[in-house]
């Protein structure tokens, strides 16, 4: 028979428990503080966005702020081929001019300054290899005001779009369901040697 006396079921709490809770709280605060400082400072010039898909660099030359501190404003949508029964949704891009290209043409762009105020739609190139097929359903990146954000993604939890606006160097945004990795680098993006997605 179970003892239903409330005094006997009481959980004991002593000073060791208080110390353990304090250690966990201090460690958690320390991790958040370390993460804040390790990500680098807010970018103010010569900043580029690195985008990787399935551990392949799609581009490391997506200019966010140039050396003259001009901030660029455009949107990039990565999507696979759309099936007959599927619909494509676009973000509100009335101020943008739409430009469509396949992923291999996108990878060959060396000067993104000419795409200011454009909405670039990058689709599968039709090749069979994983890199060119863009298997993730959809991921949209908006670049503006000296930073970027994932404005739309096909994902169960929408973790990367919920991260919001990023304007710090080396602050990674990773969308695992779509195999994308994005991060801001300072200087010539071609020297980027960051982590795998």
pLDDT tens per residue across span 76-106: 988 765 555 555 555 555 678 888 888 888 9
Between strands 47-53 and 74-79, the pairing is unpaired
Bridge partners (DSSP) listed for residue 118? 97
Average pLDDT over residues 33-44: 69
In percent, how much of the chain has pLDDT > 90? 18
Question: What is the set of domains in the chain, with CATH numbers?
Answer: 47-83+91-191 (2.60.320.10)
Decide if pLDDT at 124 tops 80: no
Give 112-143 as a DSSP string. Answer: GGGGTTEEEEEE--S-SSHHHH--SSEEEEEE
Decide if pLDDT at 183 tops 80: yes
Residue 150 burial (CB < 10 Å; 0-12/13-18/19+)? buried
Report DSSP state, residue 190.
G
More confident residue, 151 or 133: 151
Give 168-184 as a DSSP string. Answer: BBT--EEETTTTEEEEE
Tell me: the pLDDT tens digits for 99-108?
A: 888 888 898 9
Decide if pLDDT at 179 tops 60: yes
Between strands 138-144 and 97-102, the pairing is unpaired
Residues 6+ apart with CB under 8 A from 161: 149, 150, 151, 152, 153, 155
The owner of tokens 């290899």 is 129
Secondary structure (3-state) at 58: strand
Average pLDDT over residues 4-11: 60
Decide if pLDDT at 7 tops 90: no
Q: What is the mean pLDDT of the chain?
A: 78
pTM: 0.69
């Amino acid at each position: 028979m179970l003892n239903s006396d409330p005094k006997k079921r009481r959980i004991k709490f002593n000073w060791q428990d208080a110390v353990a809770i304090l250690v966990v709280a201090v460690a958690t605060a320390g991790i958040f503080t370390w993460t804040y400082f390790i990500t680098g400072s807010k970018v103010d010039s010569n900043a580029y966005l690195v985008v990787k898909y399935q551990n392949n660099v799609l581009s490391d030359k997506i200019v966010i702020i140039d050396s003259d501190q001009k901030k660029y404003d455009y949107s990039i949508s990565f999507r696979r081929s759309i099936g007959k029964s599927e619909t494509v949704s676009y973000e509100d891009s009335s101020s943008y001019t739409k430009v469509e290209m396949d992923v291999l043409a996108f990878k060959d762009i060396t000067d993104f300054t000419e795409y200011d105020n454009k909405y670039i739609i990058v689709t599968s190139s039709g090749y069979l290899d994983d890199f060119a097929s863009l298997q993730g359903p959809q991921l949209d990146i908006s670049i503006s005001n000296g930073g970027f954000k994932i404005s739309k993604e096909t994902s169960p939890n929408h973790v990367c779009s919920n991260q919001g606006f990023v304007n710090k160097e080396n602050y990674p945004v990773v969308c695992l369901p779509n195999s994308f990795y994005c991060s801001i680098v300072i200087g010539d993006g071609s020297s980027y040697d960051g982590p795998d997605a």
